[in-house]
Amino acid sequence: MRLDVITIFPDYLAPLDLSLIGKARRDGLIDLHVHDLREHAHDRHRTVDDTPYGGGAGMVMKPEPWGEALDELVGNGAEGQVPHLIIPGPGGIPFTQQTARDLATEPWLAFACGRYEGIDERVYEEAAARMPVSVISLGDYVLNGGEVAVLAMVEAIARLIPGVIGNEQSLVEESHEDGLLEYPVYTKPATWRGREVPEILLSGNHGAIAEWRHEQRLQRTAARRPDLLSD
Ligand code: SAM
């Protein structure tokens, strides 16, 4: 999968060199490029923001650098290919495991990281005339910029690409895969600071363990996320 991220803080994306995502990049499973939006600001101060029309607090990202950055991105693609452009924003559709699953099947994703009060609305309109565009929210709260949202989204999407997680079986029973949260997990030692691992897990009875785990999933989901059970 090809991934492009446009940001005014390329260093923010450095964690994508680490751990499983970094390995997936080195193994050629992910082709990730981070672009500095300021490369497309041509004044002495490399300005990417300006005051909002209509007044009000804060600054708005100017359309020209974004237009140029997206032109360059599309121009870098193979003939006729365009990315699916993801614009993170608190006013977007919520990012869920299903969103990650859907996006993990796409060949090319690009992420546009907003800052300040956001990006001039005409950039969304112009981009949508040329490529699929989705405005996606990480949750009902406001971050300072899109970079943290992109880190979270890329990690959730990339781990679903075949080959990125060594043991793909570990993806199957995870929280949100089938609407329930995961059961509690334990490792050695069997006793730690006087706390025992549930006896059933030491029994070797795989049927009984599966039943216990399912019950735990239901209980945990009911306690922490009753909204998931009503769905
Ligand atoms: N004025 C905007 C509003 O009220 O909708 C918020 C702008 S926020 C300070 C700056 C940038 O952070 C946004 O353009 C977006 O890129 C990012 N951002 C903030 N909250 C986010 C969230 N919940 N999910 C995804 N991106 C978010």
Per residue in 129-165, pLDDT (tens digit) is: 999 999 999 999 999 999 999 999 999 999 999 999 9
Please tell me the predicted confidence (pLDDT) of residue 212.
98
pLDDT in tens, 43-78: 999 999 999 999 999 999 999 999 999 999 999 888
How many residues comprise the chain?
231
φ, ψ of residue 207 to 5 degrees: the values are: -65, -45
**Measured between alpha carbons, how far is 170 from 179 in angstroms, rounded to an integer?**
16
Contact present, 146 and 93 (Cβ < 8 Å): no
pTM: 0.96
**Measured between alpha carbons, how far is 40 from 69 in angstroms, rounded to an integer?**
6
Nearest to residue 84, comparing CAs of 119, 130, 39, 24?
130
Asked which of 85-89, 128-132, 169-173 is least confident by mean pLDDT, the reply is 169-173
pLDDT, averaged across the chain? 96
**Measured between alpha carbons, how far is 47 from 59 in angstroms, rounded to an integer?**
11
Residue 118 pLDDT exceeds 90? yes
91 pocket-lining for ligand 1 (C-beta < 6 Å): yes
**Which two tokens mark 175?**
């929280």
Model confidence band, residue 167 (pLDDT cutoffs 50, 70, 90) = confident
Contact present, 32 and 10 (Cβ < 8 Å): no
117 pocket-lining for ligand 1 (C-beta < 6 Å): yes
Model confidence band, residue 230 (pLDDT cutoffs 50, 70, 90) = confident
Residue 170 pLDDT exceeds 90? no
Contact present, 110 and 5 (Cβ < 8 Å): yes
61 CA to middle of ligand 1, Å?
12
Orientation of helix 63-76 relative to helix 121-128, angle to 10°: 20
The H helix count followed by the E strand count for the chain is: 7, 9
7 CA to middle of ligand 1, Å?
13
In sequence order, what are the residues at sequence separation of 6 or more whose Cβ sits closer than 8 angstroms to the Cβ of residue 227?
A: none
Residue 86 pLDDT exceeds 90? yes
117 CA to middle of ligand 1, Å?
7
**Measured between alpha carbons, how far is 162 from 148 in angstroms, rounded to an integer?**
24
Calculate mean pLDDT across residues 103-115.
Answer: 98
Model confidence band, residue 231 (pLDDT cutoffs 50, 70, 90) = low
Closest ligand 1 atom to 91 CA: 5
Contact present, 147 and 113 (Cβ < 8 Å): yes
Residue 180 pLDDT exceeds 80? yes
Please tell me the predicted confidence (pLDDT) of residue 62.
98
**Measured between alpha carbons, how far is 141 from 90 in angstroms, rounded to an integer?**
7
What CA–CA distances, in Å, run from 158 to 26, 76, 99, 209, 227?
13, 22, 12, 31, 27
65 pocket-lining for ligand 1 (C-beta < 6 Å): no
Q: Give the type of residue at 77.
A: G
Say what percent of the chain tops pLDDT 90. 92
Q: Whose CA is nearest to atom 12 of ligand 1?
A: 145
Contact present, 67 and 119 (Cβ < 8 Å): no
Q: Whose CA is nearest to atom 11 of ligand 1?
A: 145
pLDDT in tens, 198-221: 999 999 999 999 999 999 999 999
